[in-house]
């Protein structure tokens, strides 16, 4: 039976626990059992060994979000799942710094990722966390910053006198003995969206991180909604109110990747904005980034590419010529075929295809199951010893009432 989070953290908040944790190298699953035995034989209690190995594993996992900072931080499993990536937290902090905000309350600070970024910009931070174990982790994580204070309290009851900015990352998961489960209703978040709106009504600079699947109709009026994608993975939508909201921007898609940052914005509400023409599959097919789709900016990207939609309700763009864009991945259109499993299986055989990548939108098809039907022997991918490996990419979608399979080549 797994230990409760507080039982996993408490042993680490001792000199023995902290020193033992610091002595370990990077966590390796294949070495964990042997290391467990070694540490117990050295006289460490089973509870401490379990806590140290769990924390070592979480630190290794956390490097994807926190880089080298993860090596000196404390984590809980649930807290790490929701924690903001450090490069995204830095973007949040920049908003407050650029608006001249000097004191930010991080309400529901979790493991303090955003508090860490805010404090690093010399902003005074009051980090509030209701869960005692998580608050203990946040305290350790903020030790390097004397301008940051952790308060163990309910985020909705903390006095905000003298505080000119508020950041919130509401809990969107509930934890049980079987793990964590995501919740979708903004009023079921902790704290709820209505509380966020009440803070914004005071005129303070307010930012709140929400799940990227937030429906457009749930986005409050009078704020800026910015969807953020990191390496193609849509991580959040941030709602900005008052002085941290940019004038003339209602919605935006911010893409962060190896090549830097790129953003597309619109002043129009979600039911406004330009419309793109609809046309055939030709030339080049573009697959918009998820943040572009979530922000309702597909038509804007289509017009930038001098292109058109294949269907007004589906996020695929085609254009006669290839143009470089950070907002969509490009494929060269090779062939357009009616969607027919028998015909596609013959097509795969005729072309000697051994590896098949299938993308789809607007069709109730399971790519994994279809791939098994189309490839010889029903395998997800195989190698023909005589012919070698031949790869193909199919895009399955609707064009009006017609279901089609488009053979494309990534560029």
Task: Report whether pLDDT(148) > 70.
Answer: yes
Residue pair 328/286 in contact (Cβ under 8 Å)? The answer is yes
Mean pLDDT of 181-195: 79
Distances (CA, A) of 380 to 339, 368, 370: 19, 7, 9
Task: Report whether pLDDT(179) > 50.
Answer: yes
Percent of the chain's residues with pLDDT above 90? 87
Same domain, 173 and 255: yes
Q: Can you give the pLDDT at residue 187?
A: 78
Q: Can you give the pLDDT at residue 1?
A: 37
Q: With respect to residue 278, please indicate whether it lies within any of the assigned structural domains.
A: no
SS3 of residue 314 by DSSP? strand
Task: Report whether pLDDT(184) > 90.
Answer: no
Same domain, 144 and 182: yes
Question: In angstroms, rounded to a whole number, what is the distance separating the alpha carbons of residues 59 and 85?
Answer: 14
pTM of the model: 0.89
Q: Which of 54, 57, 41, 44 is nearest to 16 (CA)?
A: 44
Q: Which domain does 51 fall in, by range?
A: 5-75
Question: In angstroms, rounded to a whole number, what is the distance separating the alpha carbons of residues 227 and 217?
Answer: 15
Task: Report whether pLDDT(183) > 80.
Answer: no
Task: Report whether pLDDT(176) > 60.
Answer: no
Convert 326-344 to b/e letters by CB count within 10 Å (16 or more is b). Answer: bbbebbebeebeebeeeeb
Question: In angstroms, rounded to a whole number, what is the distance separating the alpha carbons of residues 64 and 52?
Answer: 20
Q: What is the 3-state secondary structure (H, E, C) of 337-401?
A: EECCHHHHHHHHHHCCCCEEEEEECCCCCCHHHHHHHHCHHHCCECCECCCECCEEEEEEEEECC
Question: In angstroms, rounded to a whole number, what is the distance separating the alpha carbons of residues 260 and 119?
Answer: 24
DSSP 72: G
Q: What is the mean pLDDT of the chain?
A: 92
Q: Note the pLDDT tens digit of each residue in 93-111.
A: 999 999 999 999 999 999 9
Residue pair 206/166 in contact (Cβ under 8 Å)? The answer is yes
Length of the chain: 411
Q: What is the CATH number of the domain that holds 220?
A: 3.40.50.150
Mean pLDDT of 132-154: 96
Domain end marker among 46, 75, 104: 75
Counted domains in the chain:
4
Q: Can you give the pLDDT at residue 69?
A: 92
Domain end marker among 315, 330, 345: 330
Domain end marker among 312, 330, 348: 330
| Helix, strand, coil tally for the chain in percent (to 5) | 35, 30, 35
Residue 168 pLDDT class (50, 70, 90 cuts): very high
Q: Can you give the pLDDT at residue 202?
A: 96
Q: Note the pLDDT tens digit of each residue in 336-388.
A: 999 999 999 999 999 999 999 999 999 999 999 999 999 986 555 445 555 56
Same domain, 315 and 340: no
Q: With respect to residue 188, please indicate whether it lies within any of the assigned structural domains.
A: yes
Question: In angstroms, rounded to a whole number, what is the distance separating the alpha carbons of residues 156 and 277?
Answer: 47
Q: With respect to residue 275, please indicate whether it lies within any of the assigned structural domains.
A: no
Q: Can you give the pLDDT at residue 70?
A: 95
């Amino acid at each position: 039976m797994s230990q409760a989070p507080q039982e996993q953290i408490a042993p680490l908040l001792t000199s023995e626990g902290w020193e033992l944790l610091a002595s370990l190298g990077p966590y390796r699953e294949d070495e964990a059992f042997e290391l467990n035995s070694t540490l117990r034989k050295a006289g460490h209690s089973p509870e401490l060994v379990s806590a140290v190995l769990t924390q070592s594993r979480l630190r290794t996992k956390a490097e994807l979000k926190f880089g080298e900072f993860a090596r000196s931080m404390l984590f809980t499993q649930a807290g790490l799942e929701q924690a903001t990536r450090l490069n995204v937290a830095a973007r949040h902090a920049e908003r407050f710094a650029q608006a001249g905000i000097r004191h930010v309350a991080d309400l529901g600070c979790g493991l303090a990722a955003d508090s860490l970024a805010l404090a690093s910009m010399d902003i005074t931070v009051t980090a509030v966390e209701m869960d005692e174990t998580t608050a203990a982790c946040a305290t350790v994580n903020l030790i390097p910053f004397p301008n940051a204070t952790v308060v163990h309290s309910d985020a909705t009851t903390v006095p905000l006198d003298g505080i000119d900015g508020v950041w919130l990352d509401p809990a969107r998961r509930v934890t049980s003995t079987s793990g964590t489960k995501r919740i979708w209703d903004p009023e079921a978040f902790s704290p709820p969206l209505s509380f966020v709106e009440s803070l914004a009504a005071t005129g303070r600079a307010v930012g709140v991180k929400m799940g990227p699947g937030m429906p457009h109709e749930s986005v409050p009026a009078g704020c800026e909604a910015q969807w953020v994608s990191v390496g193609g993975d849509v991580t959040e939508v941030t709602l900005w109110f008052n002085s941290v909201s940019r004038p003339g921007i209602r919605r935006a898609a911010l893409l962060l990747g190896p090549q830097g940052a790129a953003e597309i914005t619109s002043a129009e509400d979600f039911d406004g904005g330009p419309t793109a023409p609809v046309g055939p599959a030709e030339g080049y097919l573009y697959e918009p980034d998820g943040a572009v789709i979530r922000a309702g900016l597909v038509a804007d990207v289509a017009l930038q590419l001098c292109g058109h939609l294949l269907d007004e309700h589906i996020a695929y763009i085609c254009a006669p010529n290839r143009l470089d864009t950070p907002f969509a991945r490009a494929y060269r259109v090779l062939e357009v075929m009616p969607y027919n499993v028998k015909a596609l299986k013959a097509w795969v055989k005729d072309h000697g295809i051994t590896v098949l990548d299938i993308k789809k939108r607007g069709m109730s098809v399971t790519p994994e199951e279809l791939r098994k039907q189309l490839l010889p022997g029903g395998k997800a991918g195989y190698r023909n010893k005589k012919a070698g490996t031949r790869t193909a990419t199919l895009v399955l979608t609707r064009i009006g009432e017609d279901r089609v399979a488009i053979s494309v080549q990534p560029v």
